[in-house]
């Protein structure tokens, strides 16, 4: 018999203002994502490859785009004056120190559009209502700037200011994809639209573009910036899903009463403090198992590392020394892992093989009635599994605490770069 500890409980207990605030804080972190995307869906998304994260389920995609727009608008408010300062630092000395004939064409075609765009961005950054349209605004500004610099580079060719316009094109692409963090697909489309406009403008003058030059200062930088922007966006999406999953777990873990929630938070904080000073993986295994055994009132426990050769015992609690030296113990554990690994969550097992994870008492050894199997996911894959045994079932709060500790344990392992 398998019991899922993540089942939902309902209650009508009245909450104090402090309780409501705590629950609201967690619910706000999850937002509308938790109502439309289940935990299993988000875990499946994390298991996708690079291209699989470029389009999320509607509710999750909408929440991610809202967060990205907010971040983009906030960055624009603080960075637009820096961009304006860099613009003046480059343009003013060249305009004052040069007397070449094509200077006016460069100022008119490549410099003036950027100045107009920066003025628009300065004004837009002061208007809170523009936040919802910030990505479209930046995309249109990107197209205007690239159209001007690309057309100027095509028009002036190998002349000094033609090369200046080509360099500006590369700078604008780098800023759009890496600094402004525009959506990669959107920035790519705006950039290609700018190229089409510049090409049509130069063809109207019956000029033949130098395709090799275009390849060097437009298409190759565009390809490099698009790949980098795509990778950065995928990393942001993966991070957003992980935070949403954590927020959903926090929302699910808030009971009707505040006492249990406060106790759980205090226990997690205590575990973080204890584990923060440890560097070795074996020490983390031992601490985590000892902490879970004491906090869940388990009588026996074991922590295993999953390798290509099978399970490797990393830490044990309770039981006899002979039991932990017996390979059969590891083999029995391996036979019980399938439900936990397939579900990627902690489960309670009640029908156990004879002699599995026996509890050693003062005068005899007995088999546990329930074993809680807790998988530890490091970078989406299950690398560690923890078993806890008791003579009675684990409570819902104890199961959630075990899963929360396992999540923190996985983060600590990943941060330290240990191979588990």
pLDDT at residue 150 in the model: 94
- The strand pair at 2-3 and 347-349 is best described as antiparallel
pLDDT at residue 349 in the model: 81
Q: Are residues 123 and 64 in the same domain?
A: yes
Domain assignment present for residue 32? The answer is no
Q: Are residues 270 and 160 in the same domain?
A: no
Q: Give residue 378's domain range.
A: 258-416
| Residue ranges of the chain whose pLDDT lies below 70 | 1-40, 47-52, 246-264, 277, 279, 319-344, 354-355, 358, 360-365, 379-381, 416-420
Q: Are residues 264 and 355 in the same domain?
A: yes
pLDDT at residue 267 in the model: 81
pLDDT at residue 144 in the model: 95
φ and ψ at 47, to 5 degrees?
-80, -5
CATH number assigned to the domain comprising residue 347 = 3.30.450.40
Domain assignment present for residue 268? The answer is yes
Q: Are residues 345 and 395 in the same domain?
A: yes
pLDDT at residue 166 in the model: 92
105 Cβ contact list (under 8 Å, min separation 6)? 152, 155, 156, 161
| Domain boundary, last residue among 217, 245, 273 | 245
Q: Are residues 123 and 148 in the same domain?
A: yes
pLDDT at residue 334 in the model: 55
- The Cα–Cα gap between 133 and 140 comes to 11
Domain assignment present for residue 290? The answer is yes
Q: Are residues 297 and 210 in the same domain?
A: no
pLDDT at residue 263 in the model: 52
Q: Are residues 61 and 205 in the same domain?
A: yes
Q: Are residues 329 and 216 in the same domain?
A: no
Domain assignment present for residue 251? The answer is no
Domain assignment present for residue 127? The answer is yes
Q: Are residues 207 and 270 in the same domain?
A: no
Domain assignment present for residue 253? The answer is no
Q: Are residues 220 and 330 in the same domain?
A: no
Q: Are residues 270 and 364 in the same domain?
A: yes
pTM for this model (two decimals):
0.52
Summarize pLDDT for 113-164 with one digit per residue, the tens: 999 999 998 888 888 777 788 888 999 999 999 999 999 999 998 888 899 9
Q: Are residues 216 and 265 in the same domain?
A: no
Q: Which residue from 418, 408, 413, 417 is spatially nearest to 272, judged by alpha carbons? A: 408
pLDDT at residue 321 in the model: 53
H helices present in 209-257, as ranges:
211-214, 220-252
| Domain boundary, last residue among 195, 212, 245 | 245
pLDDT at residue 22 in the model: 37
Q: Could you tell me if 372 and 346 are in contact, meaning their C-beta atoms sit under 8 angstroms apart? A: yes
| Domain boundary, last residue among 213, 245, 277 | 245
Per the structure, how many domains does the chain have? 2
pLDDT at residue 330 in the model: 56
Q: Could you tell me if 376 and 383 are in contact, meaning their C-beta atoms sit under 8 angstroms apart? A: yes
Domain assignment present for residue 177? The answer is yes
Domain assignment present for residue 277? The answer is yes
């Amino acid at each position: 018999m398998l019991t899922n500890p993540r089942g939902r409980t309902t209650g009508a207990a009245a909450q104090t203002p402090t309780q409501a605030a705590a629950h609201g804080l967690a619910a706000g972190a999850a937002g509308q994502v938790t109502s439309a995307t289940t935990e299993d869906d988000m875990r499946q998304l994390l298991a996708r490859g690079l291209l699989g994260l470029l389009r999320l389920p509607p509710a999750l995609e909408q929440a991610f785009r809202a967060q990205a727009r907010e971040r983009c608008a906030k960055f624009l408010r603080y960075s637009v004056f820096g961009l304006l300062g860099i613009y003046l630092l480059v343009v003013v000395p060249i305009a004052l120190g040069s007397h070449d004939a094509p200077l006016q064409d460069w100022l008119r075609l490549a410099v003036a559009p950027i100045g107009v765009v920066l003025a628009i961005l300065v004004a837009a950054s002061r208007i809170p209502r523009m936040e919802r349209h910030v990505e479209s605004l930046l995309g249109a500004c990107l197209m205007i700037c690239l159209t001007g610099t690309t057309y100027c580079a095509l028009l002036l060719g190998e002349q000094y200011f033609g090369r200046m316009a080509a360099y500006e094109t590369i700078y604008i692409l780098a800023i759009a994809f890496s600094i402004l963090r525009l959506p990669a697909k959107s920035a790519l489309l705006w950039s290609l639209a700018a190229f089409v406009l510049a090409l049509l403008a130069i063809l109207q003058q019956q000029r033949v573009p130098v395709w090799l030059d275009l390849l060097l200062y437009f298409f190759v930088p565009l390809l490099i910036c698009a790949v980098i922007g795509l990778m950065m966006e995928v990393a942001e999406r993966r991070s957003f899903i992980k935070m949403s999953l954590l927020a959903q777990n926090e929302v699910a873990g808030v009971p009707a009463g505040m006492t249990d929630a406060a106790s759980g938070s205090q226990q997690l904080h205590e575990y973080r403090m204890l584990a923060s000073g440890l560097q070795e993986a074996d020490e983390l295994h031992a601490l985590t198992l000892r902490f879970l055994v004491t906090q869940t009132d388990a009588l026996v426990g074991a922590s295993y590392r999953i390798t290509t050769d099978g399970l490797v015992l990393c830490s044990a609690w309770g039981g006899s020394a002979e039991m932990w030296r017996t390979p059969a113990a590891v083999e029995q554990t391996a036979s019980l892992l399938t439900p936990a690994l397939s579900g990627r969550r902690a489960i309670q097992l009640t029908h156990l093989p004879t002699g599995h994870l026996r509890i050693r008492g003062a005068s005899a050894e007995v088999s546990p009635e329930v074993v809680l199997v807790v998988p530890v996911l490091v970078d989406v894959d299950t690398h560690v599994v923890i078993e806890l045994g008791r003579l009675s079932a684990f409570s819902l709060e104890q199961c959630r605490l075990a899963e929360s500790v396992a999540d923190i344990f996985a983060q600590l392992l990943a941060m330290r770069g240990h191979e588990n």
